[in-house]
Chains A and B, each alone.
Chain A
Amino acid sequence: MKSNAAGSAAVPPAASPAQAGRLRNSRPAAGATQLIVVGCSLGGMYALEKILKPLPKEFCVPIAVAQHRHRNSNEGLPAFLRRATHMAVVDADDKQRIEPGKVYLAPADYHLLVQKGEFSLSVDDAVRHSRPSIDVLFESAADAYGPTLIGIVLTGLNDDGAAGARRIKKRGGVVIAQDPKTAEAREMPEAAIATGAVDQILRLEGIAAFLVERCRLVLTP
């Protein structure tokens, strides 16, 4: 797999000393990644496909996704993603345990929240016109997983995910934004980058490579 310039900066062996310093700063408490959260909106379905597809069989860090979707959206999204990955893809149930090797989607018309080891749903008001809201997922996951969390902001037309990115950074986690130039809608990654909380700006291929590298700790303990 070929990664772009920014992508190779994320892979330690290839990094210059300066870049390595930056990388170390981005992971203060050097704990293995336990959860990955992803936020996406317009164009997110195909972006997700591109990230999930290259993940190898051994990749088993659980991934929780808040993709803005219509209130009555059904099995279409999980079914589409299932074709792209060996990981099990499900709409999350309330109080469902967070297990390795699975991709959990925020169900249509619910907020997806995280506490240590399990999900929790809510039908509270939409946040910035969205339910599921990316901020709600990111903020709860940041509080529960701290430095062991990676948050990824992908394509989208609004600024959902920006507040969540800030919270992840505050709690010591790592934040990645899709390179806005490569995004179907650039507003959302741009808004996240504008907060100053983003550690790495990567193309989709770079994100997959980053996750593989970063989660190697988990693969071979």
Chain B
Amino acid sequence: MTMPEVVSAVDEQQKLDLEAIEIKLLAEGIYQHYGFDFRDYSQPSLKRRIFKRIYAEGLSTVSGLLEKVLHDPACMERLLLDLSINTTSMFRDPTFYLAFRQKVVPLLRTYPFVRIWHAGCSTGEEVYSMAILLYEEGLIDRCRIYATDINEAVLQRAKEGIFPINTMKENTSNYIAAGGSGTFSEYYVAKYDYAIFRPTLRENVVFAQHNLVTDASFNHFNVIFCRNVLIYFNGTLQERVQKLFLDSLENFGILGLGKKETIRYTSVADYYDTLDAEERLFRRVR
């Protein structure tokens, strides 16, 4: 009586095992043909994103998607957007920016020049947020922000600094909660459905493509931000990227991660002191 149930449970496990093989093949195929390396992305979220694309393309299996992606570059473009765009907003997690103002800005004041790397900046909302913060603290002229992302399309949008006007209400309340000392609406001009941010905000920002998975360190920085990007990587890849950050961070430099990201499970943990545990701000001490 229980036999059919047992068989179906075994079947289910076989299906899952097969799916895992297919996902490996898809990642390998994309890597060999296009050079994008998703092989060490975190499995559960990678799988969700892949299946979202499978259904959107009217397909039903991962193998079906592999075939389409290999023979149709436009499909790869669409998948790339699915796999590489990360949700962001201005002053996302306002308390992070507040902590940065209170605990990091005083340190930066003692530096003649500050290099900041914003890794995985996506469409740039948080880059403009940091530029506004540094402007209000009177530091922007001494800073250079290197804002990088794997995806050229989102970088282009980041360079333009034009964001939907309907997000400005939330952005404004975030700005206030983040300790903003001015008037948020002075940083943009509203036009139709968009808010066009002042070009002066990006005078000291360099936007560039950089792939955390495959590219090396390109400079030394006093501050590195990488927020809600590493959650999409598995443990092996997080380890690699954390070493890259360590190689790229000056002694006493600051590392800022996403609210629920941690260095605890990587080998670099011992190189850092915790500056703010709740906001995931760390300071390199050796």
Q: Chain B residue with minimal CB distance to A94? A: B231
Contacts of B262 in A (CB 8 A): 93-96
Known contacts A92-B260, A95-B238; decide if A123 and B228 are in contact (CB<8 Å): yes
Known contacts A115-B44, A172-B8; decide if A121 and B260 are in contact (CB<8 Å): yes
Q: State the Cβ distance, A47 to closest chain B Cβ, in Å.
A: 24
Known contacts A28-B6, A93-B261, A95-B265; decide if A171 and B12 are in contact (CB<8 Å): yes
Q: Chain A residue with minimal CB distance to B266? A: A95
A156 interface hit (Cβ, 8 Å) = no
- Residue from B9, B48, B228, B232 within 8 A of A146 (CB atoms): B9
B13 interface hit (Cβ, 8 Å) = yes
A110 interface hit (Cβ, 8 Å) = yes
Q: State the Cβ distance, A57 to closest chain B Cβ, in Å.
A: 28
B87:A144 contact, CB within 8 angstroms? no
A91:B44 contact, CB within 8 angstroms? no
Q: A113-B48, A146-B12 are in contact. List 6 more A-B contacts (CB 8 A).
A: A94-B230, A94-B261, A123-B87, A124-B49, A125-B87, A171-B16
Contacts of A144 in B (CB 8 A): 44
Q: State the Cβ distance, B141 to closest chain A Cβ, in Å.
A: 32
Q: Chain A residue with minimal CB distance to B7? A: A28
B231:A170 contact, CB within 8 angstroms? no
A140:B6 contact, CB within 8 angstroms? no
Q: State the Cβ distance, A93 to closest chain B Cβ, in Å.
A: 5
Known contacts A93-B261, A94-B230, A114-B44; decide if A28 and B2 are in contact (CB<8 Å): yes
Contacts of A136 in B (CB 8 A): 48
Q: State the Cβ distance, B226 to closest chain A Cβ, in Å.
A: 12
Per the bound structure, the CA–CA distance linking A19 and B28 in Å amounts to 49
Question: Which residues of A are interface residues toward B (Cβ below 8 A)?
Answer: 21, 24-25, 28-29, 72, 91-96, 107, 109-111, 113-115, 118, 120-125, 136, 139-140, 143-144, 146-147, 170-172
Per the bound structure, the CA–CA distance linking A115 and B16 in Å amounts to 13
A contact patch SS: mixed
Question: Which residues of B are interface residues toward A (Cβ below 8 A)?
Answer: 1-2, 5-6, 8-9, 12-13, 16, 42-45, 47-49, 86-87, 94, 228, 230-232, 235, 238, 258-262, 264-265
Q: Chain A residue with minimal CB distance to B16? A: A143
Contacts of A124 in B (CB 8 A): 45, 48-49, 87
Query: What are the 7 closest A-B residue pairs judged by CB atoms, nearest first?
Result: A28-B5, A113-B44, A172-B9, A140-B44, A122-B45, A121-B231, A94-B231
B48:A115 contact, CB within 8 angstroms? no
Per the bound structure, the CA–CA distance linking A123 and B2 in Å amounts to 41
Contacts of A24 in B (CB 8 A): 1-2
Contacts of A120 in B (CB 8 A): 42-45, 231
B9:A113 contact, CB within 8 angstroms? no
Per the bound structure, the CA–CA distance linking A107 and B47 in Å amounts to 21
Contacts of B2 in A (CB 8 A): 24-25, 28
Per the bound structure, the CA–CA distance linking A10 and B254 in Å amounts to 54
List 11 A-B residue pairs with CB atoms under 8 Å apart, sorted by A's residue number.
A24-B2, A28-B9, A72-B94, A93-B262, A94-B261, A120-B45, A120-B231, A122-B232, A124-B87, A140-B48, A147-B9
